């Protein structure tokens, strides 16, 4: 039977990456997706911007919306301090199965908690079910028209504190126009655009970093 793209990405990791070496997992996925078949990972170029924001924030609690195969999850988790926790939400069970195997290959299972379901349903349960107070960093990389409603939902649920950083992928391509308009015009956010390119292409894309001012 025909394999799926996520299965082929996992195969590339298992063939080319070293068990327990997260950066080799990231490199193996990038090499596969740049040379064999495109996939919607944040990628190596935007990934460097992601790395710099993660290092700057040095977060104890991270929320990722949209796991896919776990490329950015591994990239972020590999930079976290020892007792930091990363919760990642993914509603496609097939993608979740692959992502869990990618985390295991990277040796990061203890740092990453993948929760299957839709962000809109899970965000209101974060405090009670997952013992979270607030998130220091949120990486938005799920359906682009969910960026704004889920940001408002995180505010309503008290999951953001003064200084919480939102980092959103794909604000140009595929685009998140309503989200961009909101964070750039709201007095409660200080926003900054990092111009880059759509993963593995020359198409313009970028990351928007928005600090919640409380
Ligand atoms: C949306 C996907 C990423 C994942 O997010 C999960 N997801 C969704 N909504 C929810 C939720 N509400 N809760 C939990 N999980 C959720 C899903 O199942 C995917 O696995 N990402 C993209 O579609 C994406 C697309 C492109 C792209 C760019 C140019 C093109 F020509 C074609 C595609 C680039 C990117 O960089 C992306 O990130
Ligand atoms: Mg993306």
Residue 21: active-site member? no
The residue to mutate among 94, 143, 169, 179, having the most atoms of ligand 1 within 8 angstroms of its beta carbon, is 143
67 CA → ligand 2 middle, Å: 10
Whole-number Å distance, alpha carbon 142 to ligand 1 midpoint, is: 5
Q: pTM for the full model?
A: 0.99
CA distances from 155 to 18, 80, 96 (A): 40, 24, 26
C-alpha distances in Å from residue 24, one per residue of 3, 101, 144: 23, 15, 29
User: Which residues are near ligand 2, the ion (C-beta closer than 5 Å)?
Assistant: 141, 169-170
The yes-or-no answer on residue 44 being catalytic is no
> How far, rounded to the nearest angstrom, does the alpha carbon of residue 205 sit from its chain's CA centroid?
16
Q: Which residue has the tokens 């040796």?
A: 107
* Ligand 1 closest atom vs CA 92: 18
Say whether 121 is catalytic: no
Tens-digit pLDDT string for the chain (214 aa): 899 999 999 999 999 999 999 999 999 999 999 999 999 999 999 999 999 999 999 999 999 999 999 999 999 999 999 999 999 999 999 999 999 999 999 999 999 999 999 999 999 999 999 999 999 999 999 999 999 999 999 999 999 999 999 999 999 999 999 999 999 999 999 999 999 999 999 999 999 999 999 9
- Pocket around ligand 1 at a 6 A CB cut-off: 40, 66, 68, 89-92, 95, 118-120, 141-143, 146, 169-170, 173-174, 198-199
For residue 127, indicate whether it is catalytic. Answer: no
Q: Which residue of the set 30, 199, 205, 208 is catalytic?
A: 199
Look up 110 and say whether it is catalytic: no
Alpha carbon of 40 to ligand 2 centroid (Å): 6
Q: Is the ipTM of this complex over 0.90?
A: yes
Best CA proximity match to 108, nearest among 142, 74, 71, 83: 74
Residue nearest to atom 18 of ligand 1 (CA): 92
């Amino acid at each position: 039977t025909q394999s799926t793209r996520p299965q082929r990405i996992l195969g590339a990791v298992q063939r080319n990456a070293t068990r327990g070496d997260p950066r080799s997992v990231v490199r193996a996925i990038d090499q596969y997706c740049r040379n064999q078949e495109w996939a919607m990972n944040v990628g190596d170029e935007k990934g460097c911007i992601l790395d710099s924001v993660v290092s700057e924030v040095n977060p104890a609690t991270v929320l990722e919306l949209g796991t896919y195969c776990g490329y950015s999850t591994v990239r972020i988790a590999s930079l976290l301090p020892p007792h930091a926790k990363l919760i990642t939400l993914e509603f496609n069970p097939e993608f979740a199965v692959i992502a869990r195997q990618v985390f295991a290959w990277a040796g990061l299972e203890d740092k990453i908690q993948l929760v299957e379901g839709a962000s809109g349903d899970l965000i209101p349960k974060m405090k009670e079910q997952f013992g979270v107070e607030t998130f220091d960093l949120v990486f938005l990389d799920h359906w682009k028209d969910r960026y704004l409603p889920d940001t408002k939902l995180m505010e309503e649920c008290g999951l953001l504190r003064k200084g919480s950083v939102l980092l959103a992928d794909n604000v140009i391509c595929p685009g998140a126009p309503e989200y961009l308009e909101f964070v750039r015009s709201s007095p409660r956010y200080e926003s900054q655009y990092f111009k880059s390119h759509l993963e593995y292409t020359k198409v313009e894309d970028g990351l928007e970093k928005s600090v919640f001012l409380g």
